[in-house]
Amino acid sequence: MTPLVINWSHVWMVTGLGFCMVILLLVVLIFILKLLGIVVSSAVKAPKAAAPKAAVSAPATVAAPQASSGADDDLAAIAMALHLYFNGVHDVEPTEIHIKRVERSGWTSKLYGMNNLHR
């Protein structure tokens, strides 16, 4: 019987090639996902920009700049949650556990469904 001869140069070449291929595919996947995100975000923003204009023209006025209400709502919700958490306002839940006994029958027990082949 002859011993198994391992060609280590081929082993390291296959290992290195596999590792490089995995890294390359991960980088390609990152670029594809970033491109997909850009395409989807531009597709979502496009219908909002094409909103119809009002038929009646109003006199031109300069509006005061307003802060975005979405960011203010988020900050208000976070502040309220922190206030409630640190001031100890929590739901009071009962700590009692009730256990209800259930009678076993042939319909609810798996023991009766097993075959008893040894008689």
The closest of 61, 56, 14, 106 to 114, measured between CA atoms, is 106
Residue 116 placed within a domain: no
Residue 16 placed within a domain: yes
At 44, list the tokens. Answer: 């979502």
The closest of 21, 40, 19 to 29, measured between CA atoms, is 21
Amino acid at site 78:
I
Residue 26 placed within a domain: yes
**Total of domains in the chain:** 1
Render pLDDT for 89-105 as a digit per residue (tens, 0 to 9).
666 777 787 777 777 66
Could you give the CA distance from residue 77 to residue 117 in angstroms, rounded to a whole number? 65
Q: Model-level pTM?
A: 0.35
Render pLDDT for 24-42 as a digit per residue (tens, 0 to 9).
999 999 999 999 999 888 8
Write out the DSSP string of 65-78.
Answer: P---HHHHHHHHHH
Other beta carbons within 10 angstroms of residue 86's beta carbon come to 8
pLDDT at residue 60 tops 90 = no
Residue 51 placed within a domain: no
> Of residues 33 and 43, which shows the higher confidence score?
33
pLDDT value of position 33:
94
